[in-house]
Structures are given as C-alpha cells and as structure tokens.
Amino acid sequence: MEMVQRSKFKDPGFILAIVVLLYSAVVWIWWPHETYVAGVALTAWLMLVGIILWFTLAVVYVFWIEHVEKSVKEETERRGPHENN
C-alpha cells in the first residue's frame, strides 16, 4: 500500500509551532520592563495576546487538519480501489 509522502515542513502543526516560537522569542528577547499601557503592565498585555494567539492557532489547526485529511481522502477515492492496494 502506497502512502502519500508530504513534506514535514508543510505540516500544519510544524508551521503553527514556528509561529508560536517566533512570538515567544519576541516576548522573551524584548521583555518590556516598567512599561504600562492603560494602567496595565505591557507584559500582562503580551500574555493576553499570547493566550488569544494560542486559541486562534488551535482553531486554525483543527480546520487546517480537516482540510488536509479531506483532500487526502478525496485523492484516495479518485485513484480507485485497484490503485489503493
């Protein structure tokens, strides 16, 4: 049985993990000391943005994986039963 090989660099989990790592790197490299926005420390705002980012990425990941699995299923069905074995 032949499996469709996909590049690991095109995997949604890999791409979204890179996004989170880049955001984390920006926050940790540029740690905002004694900076306040609307009376709240900028660090707290960045933590809030991080939580929203995590949630958004989780939703994107679910829809992205469903799309990938659907396209793989359609490709398998398109080949026909004799090519799948």
Mean confidence (pLDDT) of the chain = 80
Structure tokens at 41: 């420390």
From the list 82, 81, 71, 80, the residue with the least C-alpha distance to 4 is 71
Enumerate residues 6+ apart whose C-beta is below 8 A from 44.
none
What is the average per-residue pLDDT within 9-37? 82
Q: State the pLDDT confidence band at 3, using cuts at 50, 70 and 90.
A: low
Determine the Cα–Cα distance for residues 7 and 14; give it in Å rounded to an integer. Answer: 10
Phi/psi class of residue 33: alpha, beta or left (left: φ > 0; alpha: ψ in -120 to 50)? beta
